[in-house]
Amino acid sequence: MADTVTKSDPLGSFWLLCPMFHFKNLRKLTCLFVSVCILISPSLADEQDFMEDFMKREYSLAKPYHGLGFSSSSQWDLMGTAMVTPEHVRLTPDMQSRQGAVWSRVPLLVRDWELRVHFKIHGVGKKNFNGDGMAIWLTKDRMQNGRKALDHSTGGMSRSMKRN
């Protein structure tokens, strides 16, 4: 008995196993795919609208920082030793007992909110001593300097990060 060896085409056997992918069914699959995309797109658009509502631009401080605090269209004011470049906002120079701040011009009128912040404290001062501390305040009155910005009689909230 003689056996014959034939070279099999792996793609050909795939087409045999999956008749759904034959050319005549490809048009139906394309129509199905397009239909599913059309049906899903409104829900994806709703998700995008939700994210736009969630991430309020007037409360967001993001790169590039052009015109921050200087133009009348800016949503932010600078105070103290704060300085702006296109790449970063520097609140204070690398010296002790300096104060700088960035204040929003837009009142916070939402009930529920979330703060996401990315910051870096660095400098060339003494080892492990690059500033006196940092605080994030939510206050009723804006552009107040120092601790009077957080007058508990008028309401306010803070999160201080002090070096040990």
Residues 47, 93: one domain? no
Residues 38, 67: one domain? no
Nearest to 149, CA basis, from 132, 134, 137: 137
Give Rg (Cα) of the chain: 30
Domain span at residue 73 reads: 56-164
Task: Answer yes or no: is 34 within a domain.
Answer: yes
Task: Answer yes or no: is 1 within a domain.
Answer: no
pLDDT at 153: 41
Q: Which residues have a Cβ under 8 Å from the Cβ of 30 and sit 6 or more positions away?
A: none
Residues 19, 66: one domain? no
Q: CB neighbours (10 Å) of residue 68?
A: 19
Residues 83, 150: one domain? yes
Domain of residue 130, CATH code? 2.60.120.200
**Number of domains making up the chain:** 2
Task: Answer yes or no: is 68 within a domain.
Answer: yes
pLDDT at 125: 62
Which tokens go with 72?
A: 């009348």
Task: Answer yes or no: is 73 within a domain.
Answer: yes
Q: Indicate the SS3 state at residue 131.
A: coil
Residues 100, 32: one domain? no
pLDDT at 14: 47
pLDDT (tens digit, 0 to 9) for every residue of the chain, 164 residues total?
A: 454 444 555 555 444 445 555 555 555 655 566 655 565 655 555 545 555 556 677 777 777 777 676 666 678 888 888 888 888 888 888 777 788 888 888 888 878 878 788 777 777 766 656 566 777 777 777 776 666 555 544 455 555 555 44
Residues 24, 35: one domain? yes
Residues 34, 65: one domain? no
Environment class of 52 (CB within 10 Å of its CB; exposed 0-12, middle 13-18, buried 19+): exposed
Residues 162, 103: one domain? yes
pLDDT at 132: 66
Residues 99, 20: one domain? no
Between CA 75 and CA 66 the distance in angstroms is: 12
Task: Answer yes or no: is 121 within a domain.
Answer: yes
Pairing of strands 133-139, 100-104: unpaired
Task: Answer yes or no: is 101 within a domain.
Answer: yes
pTM: 0.53
